[in-house]
Amino acid sequence: MKKLIITILGIASIGGQLLSMTEAVVNLKVERAQQLVGVMNAVSLSDDDQKYFAHFDAISKSFAELLGSAETYDEYQQLFEIFHENISDLHTPLTAAARYGNIKIVAKLLKDGVSDKADKGGKTALIEAAWHGHKDSVELLIEAGFDLNYQMKNTQFTVLMYAATSGHKEVVELLLEKGADPTLKSINGYTAKDYTQKGYPEIAKLL
């Protein structure tokens, strides 16, 4: 009995240490996000547009890594709020998770019943996932019933066009297999095939 109690106490102690380590990692990520915002704010005071946009691009990539690496929704939510309030308010929690390849958060939000809603930029989560080549997220979103043939209001660009023009062959194959329509045209009258003839001839053949 004594050995059992010691074992249980040992396990509890290890569990507590792991929890503390997890909290420490989350705190470091949040601190890093706040530092990035500070850097962005400092650069925005500069009159050098080239320097500003270079920093903005680098900071956006750093936030992409932070959001993409979040292990829990609480962690993701903290980071997303900092990103949304200070860097870009275009995305919804789902479109950002899809864009940055965080399959855990995509799955969590879908389980919670998040709808197929476009963000302020007019893109759905399925467009974001396809555009950035996150096939696993694309599969989840299709299974959840997201519109394969959604077209953006301003450009009429489709999910298939974003995947094709970004060179994501496997995603294109998946979209076609699931019923994406390759005959849909953008506002300029071009299909996904038209857009890929020169840059991605292998993909154009699929279309």
Q: In this structure, what is the dihedral angle of CA atoms 24, 110, 60, 135, given to the nearest 10 degrees? A: 110
pLDDT at 119: 85
Predicted confidence (pLDDT) at residue 15 exceeds the cutoff of 50: no
Mean pLDDT of the chain: 82
Q: Residue type for 168, please?
A: H
Greater confidence (85 vs 1) lies with 85
Q: How confident is the model at residue 12 (pLDDT cuts 50, 70, 90)?
A: very low
Is the whole model's pTM more than 0.85, yes or no?
no
Side-chain-side CA neighbours of residue 54 (13 Å) = 5
DSSP state of 179: T
Q: How confident is the model at residue 6 (pLDDT cuts 50, 70, 90)?
A: very low
pLDDT at 53: 64
Predicted confidence (pLDDT) at residue 189 exceeds the cutoff of 50: yes
pLDDT at 60: 76
Predicted confidence (pLDDT) at residue 31 exceeds the cutoff of 90: no
DSSP state of 121: T
Q: What is the mean pLDDT of residues 177-206?
A: 95
* Helices within the chain (DSSP H only): 2-44, 49-69, 73-86, 93-99, 103-111, 125-131, 135-143, 159-165, 169-177, 192-196, 201-206
The answer to whether the beta carbons of residues 105 and 71 sit under 8 Å apart is no
Q: What is the mean pLDDT of residues 19-35?
A: 65
| Burial zone of 51 (CB within 10 Å; 0-12 exposed, 13-18 middle, 19+ buried) | exposed
